[in-house]
Amino acid sequence: MIRGMPAEVADIARQLSASVLAGEGEADRLPVGPGTYGLLLRLAEPVTLGLARLGNPVLAPGLYLYCGSANGPGGVRARLGRHLRRDKAVRWHIDYLSGVAAEIAGLVVPEATECDLRQKASAVLKAGGAGSGIRVFGLQGLSGPSPAAGAVTRIQNLDSNGARVSGSRLQLPKSL
């Protein structure tokens, strides 16, 4: 059974300047080239992540936005398309969530970096509206002059539940 998209997705996509929206089974709508993307996930019930190195965090029900970039072979279509699938090998922390999400949607945000996307998401949260209840995460793969330092502040500002960054890895508290 294909999962639906969160009801707020169109409004959030507009606020984040997303150019493409895709749901489960719609990877063919995504661009093949490199780019930045957001993955909206709605958890209908608490989810315990089987990530011992992060203390097996428990995520509360709600809407989450994972920010990422895809610069390798297949670009956004390959990476985000994989995230949108339920049936896949679990390789990354996002695989745990995307596999159990009740609703899921992918957003392509052209001409933006992961940090740009987080900054836009921060503005959405501060302004209120449809996206004001989202929790934002995802810091793997950041590079450049001290990118994690800027992202740490934004993540801490976005998440009142204690998510923090150590180096370039997102550290989640035991309960979000």
Residue 93 confidence (pLDDT): 72
Give 146: exposed, middle or buried? Use CB within 10 Å, 0-12, 13-18, 19+: exposed
**Predicted confidence (pLDDT) per residue in 81-139, tens digit:** 999 998 898 887 788 788 889 999 999 998 898 888 888 887 777 776 555 566 665 54
Hey, how many other C-beta atoms are within 10 angstroms of the C-beta on 139? 23
- In DSSP notation, the chain reads ------TTHHHHHHHTT-SEEE-TT-GGGS-SS-EEEEEEEEESS-EE---GGGT--EEPSEEEEEEEEE-STTHHHHHHHHHH-SSS---SHHHHHHHH-SEEEEEEETT--HHHHHHHHHHHHHH-STTTT-EEE--TT--SSSHHHHHHHHHHHH-TT--EEETTEEE--SB-
What's the pTM? 0.74
**pLDDT digit string (tens) for 6-56?**
888 888 888 889 999 999 999 999 999 999 999 988 889 988 876 677 677
Window from 2-6, 58-62, 129-133 with minimum mean pLDDT: 129-133
